[in-house]
Amino acid sequence: MRNEAGTEQAKRHPYQQERSGWIIVIDLLIAVIAAAALFYVYVWNIDPVLKVTVGVLLAAAVVIYAVRRVRSRTLLQEEGATIAKLVLLNEEGESVKEWYIHGETSLLIGKNSAQSEVDIDLSDSEYASLISKHHAVMNYASGNWFVEDLDSHNGVGIRQAGSRTASRLEVEEPYRIESGDIICIANTRILAK
């Protein structure tokens, strides 16, 4: 696990992260070409049919863009609710154990003992000696799952889907997890699916 300096950047969803330089350049080129085309149609051109046609096409493009944007936001909000199970992974990334969490509202992650039981028991995992009895908690709220470190000795990290590095969580600060994220409990990896 690696501790990231900017916790706000670490909390962003993958779709909300910074765009690459090439994407920005392409977006700027499209904007310049569109502005030049509109300038030609509405300033230099005198054909009223072309002006009306371009106006109608422009209005249709704006409506399509707005509809797609609303749909993508809805999908992002619903994405957190798609987590139905947690999968314990071994060193090769293969499934070792699964817990179905659909319908649950709170899950305690750690190790079972004579004094207390946890919902996600990692006492038989390879790195069990690094895991605290009450290491982390997952809570379901507002259609999303959140995980937080319960002041564990070896910490909790999140590796977002598609990322190669994990970000260490601040103690007792909820972090929203998405399907495909990996929760790192000490050196133990749990995939949210």
Going by C-beta distance under 8 Å and a sequence separation of 6 or more, which residues neighbour residue 44?
Answer: none
Q: What is the pLDDT of residue 58?
A: 86
pLDDT > 90? residue 175: yes
Q: What is the pLDDT of residue 167?
A: 92
pLDDT for 4-13, tens place per residue? Answer: 433 333 344 4
Q: What is the 3-state secondary structure (H, E, C) of 129-179?
A: HHCCCEEEEEEEECCEEEEEECCCCCCEEEECCCCCCCEECCECCCEEECC
Q: What is the mean pLDDT of the chain?
A: 84
Q: What is the pLDDT of residue 82?
A: 75
What is the pairing mode between strands 120-121 and 106-110?
parallel
152 closest CA partner among 173, 174, 130: 130
Other residues' Cβ atoms within 10 Å of the Cβ of residue 123? 13
Provide the pLDDT confidence category of residue 20 given band limits of 50, 70 and 90: low
Residue with tokens 């305690």: 108
Question: Which DSSP helix (H) or strand (E) runs through 94?
Answer: none
Edge-first strand order for the sheet with 188-192 is 95-100, 85-89, 188-192, 182-185, 156-159, 167-168
Cα separation, 63 vs 16, in Å, equals 23
pLDDT for 92-134, tens place per residue? Answer: 989 999 999 988 999 999 999 889 999 999 999 999 999 999 9
Q: What is the pLDDT of residue 140?
A: 92
Q: What is the DSSP letter of 80?
A: G
Per the model's pLDDT, the better-predicted residue between 17 and 39 turns out to be 39
Question: Which DSSP helix (H) or strand (E) runs through 193?
Answer: none
% of the chain with per-residue pLDDT over 90: 47
Class in CATH terms, 83-192: mainly beta
pLDDT > 80? residue 2: no
